[in-house]
Amino acid sequence: MKKFIDSPATLLDNSLQGFAKAHADIVEYHTQPNFICRKSLKAGKVALISGGGSGHEPLHSGFVGLGMLDAACPGQIFTSPTPDQMLAAAQTVDGGAGVLFIVKNYAGDVMNFEMASEMLETPTATVLVNDDVSLPKNHSIGRRGVAGTTVVEKIVGAAAEQGYDLSACKALGERVVQATASMGVALTSCTVPALGHPTFELAENEIEIGVGIHGERGRETGQLVSASEIVAQVAGHIQEALQPQPGQRVLLHVNGFGGTPLVELHFIYELAWQFWHQKGLDIQRSLVGNFTTSLDMAGCSLTLTLLDEELLRLWDAPVNTAALRWGC
């Protein structure tokens, strides 16, 4: 294992310290317990909080700031944050209009955010993100929350900034989740620093289809084929899940898992654009890059979100975070 670390035990704290210094105009870093919060809080707005295990950066800390999250709670790598982190973050950023938790559908995240919600005296609500269509809807643990989380946090964050109340933000978030589907494919596994070796093995001629973002295997191991064939397979599952009609306006998001260069990600975008263009969809917005990563995993995911006029307006609204910035 070759990584820029002093010790696996101190990596997260060291990284958060560096992140906060690099973006001191946007965020503040709180310790004991750890959380990242927006430097300039806005009274009277719904506070948005998310979080999860580290290793997915820039998700979630990179999305703290104007037009997105008010706070993010980072757990250790691929480990859920604890309720005391969420409680402290909520008490710090609560602007008097309630707190909305945006939670990826993983058992530890769901349980700990629920516990924090029960301990808070301020009104709270939760949006559960479960956009991963590599798992069936009736799967025992439900569908996982993956790269579609970025889309949810951006759109709901803009709504909160514009004065939507707590119930409206929750309803909007749930609508975005229903309009969003994602699926990923890995060329390699990833290496968790504390583990010191890849979480699973793939031969040179193998890929993992329907992979998650925690170094776990996907729905099946397949043969390495052309990028065109891979995109057709992944996009086909998303198309089947959402069943968009010709003329439907969409956002297309190609998300890297951390180890795939942009030259490949933009090629994947071209292939996905051609796939949905041939289906008659109107691709009005795009996002390409590493936003929901899995440490050093080589691979990517496709996310499609069905847009209407409101969602398009909120996507375009100003945002100023470490990872997303436009209109400011």
Cβ atoms 71, 228 nearer than 8 A:
no
Cα 264–Cα 268–Cα 271 angle in degrees, nearest 5: 140
Q: Which of 56, 60, 237, 253 is catalytic?
A: 56
Residue 293 contacts residue 55 (beta carbons within 8 Å) = yes
The continuous run of DSSP H or E covering 231 comes out as helix 227-242
Instruction: Please check whether residue 256 is in contact with residue 188, taking contact to mean a CB–CB distance below 8 angstroms.
Output: no
CA-to-CA dists, residue 119 to 15, 115, 214, 276, angstroms: 29, 6, 28, 45
Residues in the chain: 328
Catalytic residue among 23, 214, 237, 253: 214
CB 271 within 8 A of CB 228: yes
Location of structure tokens 């400011």:
328
Identify whether 277 is a catalytic site residue. no
Residue 237 bears catalytic tag: no
Q: CA-CA distance, 117 to 99, in Å (whole number)? A: 9
Q: Which two tokens stand for residue 229?
A: 């064939």
Write out the H or E segment, with its range, that includes residue 72.
strand 71-77
Catalytic residues: 56, 214
